[in-house]
Amino acid sequence: MEKITKTSVTISVMRANALLPMADVVDLILEAQHAAGFFSVTKPLCVGAYRWAVRTGAAEGFVPKATKAPKATKTKVAKTKATKTKAPKVTKPVADQPLGTDEIREANLARIKAVHARMKGEGRFDFVDQEVRPEEAPVMDNFDDVDSFASPAFLTRDEVDYLV
C-alpha cells in the first residue's frame, strides 16, 4: 500500500485529467485533496502545485502565460499656478533670544545661590558653613558597653537629628 501525500494526490489527478485546461484541473485537485483528508490545502496552493508538476515534468499539463491587464491611461489636467504670499519675518525681542553659555552658567549659579540661601534660612544647611573640627573622638575597642541609641561624642545633637 502506497502512502498518500498531497503531492501524490496532485500528480494522480493531473495524470487522469491531462487533456483538461488548468482551471478545471486545479478545481479537481482541490476536491481530491479535501477527499483525502488534507483540509488545509487551498486553491492558490493547488495552482502552485500544478505549476510545479508541469515545470518539473512530474505530470502532463499546460500552464497558460499570464496576461497583464491593460494600463489605464492618465489624462493630464492643466494646472493653474497659485500665487504664494510670503509671511513677514517675525523677530524675537532681545530678552527672548537664547543666551550664550556664559550667561546660562551665571543664571544657574544665581539660582543655586538663591535656593541655598532659602534653605539655609530654614536651618537645613546650617552645618555647611561650620568649620571642620579635628577628629578628637576616642577610639573604641569594646562595643558591647556602648548604648546604640546614645549620641556619639564627636557629633552634636543637631547633626544627629540631621543624619536621622
44 located within any domain: yes
Grid cell in block for residue 114: 538663591
Give the confidence band of 123 by pLDDT, cuts at 50, 70, 90. Answer: low
118 located within any domain: yes
Per-residue pLDDT of 67-119, as tens digits, reads 777 777 777 777 777 777 777 776 666 555 566 788 888 999 999 998 888 88
Grid cell in block for residue 15: 495524470
Q: What pLDDT score was predicted for residue 8?
A: 93
Domain count within the chain: 2
Report the alpha-carbon distance of residue 93 to residue 99 in Å, rounded: 13
Domain of residue 30, residue span: 6-56
70 located within any domain: no
22 located within any domain: yes
67 located within any domain: no
Report the alpha-carbon distance of residue 42 to residue 50 in Å, rounded: 12
Give the confidence band of 62 by pLDDT, cuts at 50, 70, 90. Answer: confident
49 and 106 in a single domain? The answer is: no
Give the CA distances from residue 140 to residues 135, 137, 145, 158, in Å, rounded to whole numbers and listed in that order: 14, 9, 10, 23
CB 99 within 8 A of CB 107: yes
